[in-house]
Chain A
């Protein structure tokens, strides 16, 4: 009782008590330590907002820019003229080189110094007609100049089987269907007979070129989509707390997200229809199942409303590494290109990166598809299972999502695989995905608005079953490690 009285007296003695203080002085001492409005953030934000527009414009411009084949040909012709100008001089009395092989190498060296590797170059093979040693021939084959026809991909791809028809998988060296040669090649051949033509094909240019035999050429179009990056797993799905937060601030929650994901994708194929059964059998005999290692980068500028609607601009870039039966120790890297080198006598060599071979199957080692997408989707995401987040600390948090998720859009979504001319490029009236996902993310917030997350996700997706373009239906599942940076506006 006495204790209570003592406490009350003590408490009472401090009622209405305020320490005398100089507010102005205290404020001056503290104001510089308080969180400041960072002006530079605005600039960065502005840049980030402009970035998707600029990137998108550039990509769209690249897609729709006219293919000026003639210009490329004229460039080749210019090189040709330069080269043959020397020959004309020879014919006009200038002493030709004594050693035709050395001369050729000399010319190659000259060309190499004059133009970068990827420029269009051609070399006369007249000098190759003479006798020369095996070593010299090898040297020659390694130093073949290359005609690269970057901008004529479409032409070379107009018939997907062009290359396959021209090459026999077991390496028999004959050019069976001259009509299928690229138009430009024909033009060049007409321009200068007896010219060894070297064609360089970009691995990324078309999936068909990556599977250039009869089996792989019929490989179904893959149904990988940016959502596999798991961007809906890096934050709590709409729940009461999120709604509250969004309502409290604004109706919309705007954010910018960068994601880097790395994961393994497994595809289980369902039983194909009768007409596809043979194809699938051939495919299974030809290559290993599609165990894919998947890496991706995603940029998302989006807004989320409290009612679950989500929209934004998404740019994603994904790569898929296909492990196939014909794997050897070499790998094709992103920067490697595939060159199909055709000699005057009809023989051919394949060069993938720095590796030479005489069989088209050399290409079928590890193939990489690089896929880029630009889309403006509208999603409605609704979690019907569990989504829980904990703040471990003021800066640290843990998020666990277990959800069945329907992502659908009745709005038009445009997707196009950049550089994949013959693959996806269409408007979709409606897109949907149904997936079961399980994910855990650890978040760190170094400053207000900024959030870095690292997480691991497992998911299965039945959506590819609805993809009409697939030769057979696939069920995908994936495990993805994900690094996320999110800026909440």
Chain B
């Protein structure tokens, strides 16, 4: 309760554009938002740009936050996610082309039977085609339904489903490759 009051006070101060309060709120929000951005981006530079866009959007629209409607961090995270999705929509991803990418069926049945380092996993996710990555992130990490994904990215539900399947297969294939490389490294 006290924490909630503190946050609300901080938000009010930020609404008055007090720099000290802005910095405090930035420090609180930054790790979560940065992680979000990194998962959706291909390079560190892209992540940095997305992160800045998200933070600016959050701070610019603090007046729209209504404490009675929900929790602040969830709201901020949602603003960040929507900002990224908005950028993705503008990129005009060619979803049909992504379908044609060949993925081995054998590998597609593999699971994550070796615990990869999270950084390794993140690196793999970053390398994913944009469309796969967007749908996978929204479905797995943001726990959005296909309907919501469709609305966020401006695609059909069926496209979202197929993209998710292919994203999974793509990632599993890469994980397998990674395991193989690790094994080879280990025996050399």
**Which residues of A come within 8 Å of B, CB atoms?**
2-3, 5-7, 9-11, 13-14, 17-19, 21, 23, 26-27, 29-31, 33-38, 244, 248, 394, 448
How many inter-chain residue pairs (CB < 8 Å) link A and B?
Answer: 93
Pick out which of these stretches binds chain A: B49-57, B90-98, B99-107, B150-158. Answer: B49-57
Partner of A27, one of B27, B56, B63, B121: B27
Contact B27 A30 (CB under 8 A): no
Count of interface residues, chain B, beta-carbon cutoff 8 Å: 45
Partner of A6, one of B27, B34, B168: B168
- Excluding A10-B140, A29-B52, 10 further A-B contacts by CB distance (< 8 Å) are A6-B112, A6-B168, A7-B168, A11-B141, A18-B34, A19-B35, A26-B34, A26-B51, A31-B19, A34-B55
Interchain CA distance A30-B171 in the complex, whole Å: 33
Contact B111 A6 (CB under 8 A): yes
Q: Which residues in chain B, 162-181, are within 8 Å of chain A measured between CB atoms? A: 165, 168, 171-172
In the bound complex, residues from chain A placing their C-beta under 8 Å from that of B34 are 18-19, 21, 26
Interchain CA distance A388-B47 in the complex, whole Å: 40
Separation in Å of the B174 CB from the closest CB of chain A? Answer: 12
B73 on the interface (CB 8 Å rule)? no
Interchain CA distance A263-B110 in the complex, whole Å: 73
Q: Which residues in chain B, 37-65, are within 8 Å of chain A measured between CB atoms? A: 38-39, 47-48, 51-52, 55-56, 59-61, 63-64
Separation in Å of the B92 CB from the closest CB of chain A? Answer: 21
Contact A21 B30 (CB under 8 A): yes
Partner of B17, one of A9, A13, A18, A37: A37
In the bound complex, residues from chain A placing their C-beta under 8 Å from that of B182 are none
Contact B18 A7 (CB under 8 A): no
What are 5 sample pairs from A and B whose C-beta atoms fall under 8 A apart?
A9-B112, A14-B39, A19-B38, A21-B34, A34-B60
Contact A17 B118 (CB under 8 A): yes
Interchain CA distance A26-B19 in the complex, whole Å: 15
Contact B140 A11 (CB under 8 A): yes
Separation in Å of the B19 CB from the closest CB of chain A? Answer: 7
Interchain CA distance A59-B26 in the complex, whole Å: 50
Contact B63 A448 (CB under 8 A): yes
Task: For A28, give the chain B residue with the smallest CB separation.
Answer: B23
Partner of B22, one of A5, A23, A31: A31
Contact A394 B61 (CB under 8 A): yes
In the bound complex, residues from chain A placing their C-beta under 8 Å from that of B31 are 18-19, 21
Interchain CA distance A30-B56 in the complex, whole Å: 8
Interchain CA distance A14-B116 in the complex, whole Å: 11
In the bound complex, residues from chain B placing their C-beta under 8 Å from that of A3 are 165, 168
Contact A14 B19 (CB under 8 A): no
In the bound complex, residues from chain B placing their C-beta under 8 Å from that of A13 are 112, 115-116, 118, 121
Separation in Å of the B51 CB from the closest CB of chain A? Answer: 7
Separation in Å of the A190 CB from the closest CB of chain B? Answer: 70
Q: Which residues in chain B, 114-171, are within 8 Å of chain A measured between CB atoms? A: 115-116, 118, 121-122, 139-141, 165, 168, 171
Interchain CA distance A307-B18 in the complex, whole Å: 30
Task: For A449, give the chain B residue with the smallest CB separation.
Answer: B63
Separation in Å of the A27 CB from the closest CB of chain B? Answer: 6
B109 on the interface (CB 8 Å rule)? yes
